[in-house]
Amino acid sequence: MNRYFTAEADAFIASKVLEYNRAPTEEQKKVLEALIRERTGILLYLIPQRNLYIKDEDLSGFYLDIVKDMDRIISSFEISGTSYIAYLTQICRYRCMRYIRKKEKNEQAELALMRSDPTIYEYGSLYETIRPYHSSRVPRRPRTLREAVVCIMERKGRMSTGNEEENALASYLETPVDRRRFLEYLLYLPQVEDAAFIAGVSRVLRVDLSIISRFYELRRSELSANDEAIESAEAIAARYWKMIANLRHAITKEADEEKLKQLTEAKERAERIYRKRLGIIKYAKRGMSHSRIAIVLGIPRTTVTNDISKVKQLLYRISHGMDY
């Protein structure tokens, strides 16, 4: 790689590009065209990699995007007033920023489209803005997850009307010990809660909604190490979901049996990859481990395991109308 960035190599290619741009006839340009396009293509690929402008997995996509403008880039060099490598570096820096913004915008649009189809994608939007509705006075926000748990264990507000199962659970969660067990169970659950779920937790615990919202905000910060894996898997899943949708449409329009078979096989492959990515997302969105919950709350791990088991049994009995 370094041999392309020496002063001699830079001066050589700069002189050839100037000679190419100033050549009076097409025949003279053709003599230099192959050399210039080859060297420029190499530099357009190596410069972003060398200067860490873009991630390695995005490098090929960026190169395919910028190489389409190679002729215009070469022809504009004469008025740049810099060395050829410095000129290409300025272009790559700007184009990389533009490429990343465009890629993020497309991924967000595809992800939003995928999430709008509940039959395929099982996770809803997370952590919507929630305003407190139990009290006109907004309580102080807990600063740590343990502080939020203690606050919820000790605090009760007015009970909002819930359904029969919520009221049954609320009647059980009267003592601080039972409330702590239930909070341990909530910390253990995967990251799939939405606004309605958080509001339901507020009702059964009889705690101001702002406190429960803060509890989930703090829990999310504890699990933030998984954010990058979730975003990457979701972006890939969104692209495959779009591919599956296009293949489904193509299958309904295809009359040729051979092409129909190929499209069906392609759809099945895409669905396998899509399901695998959903599995990765589900694993990355797992909740806190028993050991981590024990550390945060300052209790033995075996206590956490037993408490979560008891809450699961309780919820099973309530959901099946059994005595608890």
Count of structural domains, the chain: 3
- In the predicted model, is pLDDT for residue 289 greater than 60? yes
**126 is a domain residue:** no
Q: Are residues 198 and 293 in the same domain?
A: yes
**132 is a domain residue:** no
Q: Are residues 277 and 310 in the same domain?
A: no
SS3 264: helix
pLDDT tens digit sequence for 117-172: 544 444 333 323 323 334 444 456 788 888 888 888 887 665 556 677 778 888 88
- What is the share, in percent, of the chain residues with pLDDT greater than 70? 86
- Give the pLDDT of residue 302: 93
Residue 10 makes CB contacts below 8 A (sequence gap 6+) with: 83, 84, 85
- Give the pLDDT of residue 248: 87
**304 is a domain residue:** yes
Cα of 250 vs its chain's centroid, Å? 29
- Its pTM stands at 0.50
pLDDT tens digit sequence for 302-312: 999 999 999 98
- In the predicted model, is pLDDT for residue 199 greater than 50? yes
- In the predicted model, is pLDDT for residue 229 greater than 80? no
Domain end (from 115, 135, 158): 115
Which two structure tokens, joined as six digits, stand for 27?
A: 């025949």
The answer to whether 36 and 20 have CB atoms below 8 angstroms apart is yes
pLDDT tens digit sequence for 254-269: 888 888 999 999 999 9
**236 is a domain residue:** yes
Mean residue pLDDT across the chain: 81
Q: Are residues 31 and 95 in the same domain?
A: yes
One-letter identity of residue 73: I
Q: Are residues 159 and 71 in the same domain?
A: no
Q: Are residues 162 and 42 in the same domain?
A: no
pLDDT tens digit sequence for 230-253: 778 888 888 888 888 888 888 888
Averaged pLDDT, 277-291: 84
Q: Are residues 206 and 298 in the same domain?
A: yes
Cα of 224 vs its chain's centroid, Å? 11
Q: Are residues 155 and 94 in the same domain?
A: no
Averaged pLDDT, 202-212: 86
Which two structure tokens, joined as six digits, stand for 276?
A: 């695998």
Averaged pLDDT, 277-294: 85
Q: Are residues 202 and 298 in the same domain?
A: yes
Q: Are residues 51 and 102 in the same domain?
A: yes
Per DSSP, the residues of 38-76 read: HHHHHHHHHHHHHTT-S-HHHHHHHHHHHGGGHHHHHHT
**140 is a domain residue:** no
Place of tokens 């989930």: 216
**234 is a domain residue:** yes
The lowest-confidence range among 1-10, 168-177, 225-234, 271-280 is: 225-234
- Give the pLDDT of residue 162: 63
- Give the pLDDT of residue 139: 55
**138 is a domain residue:** no
**24 is a domain residue:** yes
CA separation for the pair 152, 236 (Å, rounded): 38
Q: Are residues 14 and 77 in the same domain?
A: yes
Q: Which domain holds residue 231?
A: 226-284
Q: Are residues 178 and 305 in the same domain?
A: yes
Q: Are residues 214 and 230 in the same domain?
A: no
The lowest-confidence range among 21-35, 145-159, 172-186, 200-214 is: 145-159
Averaged pLDDT, 171-191: 89
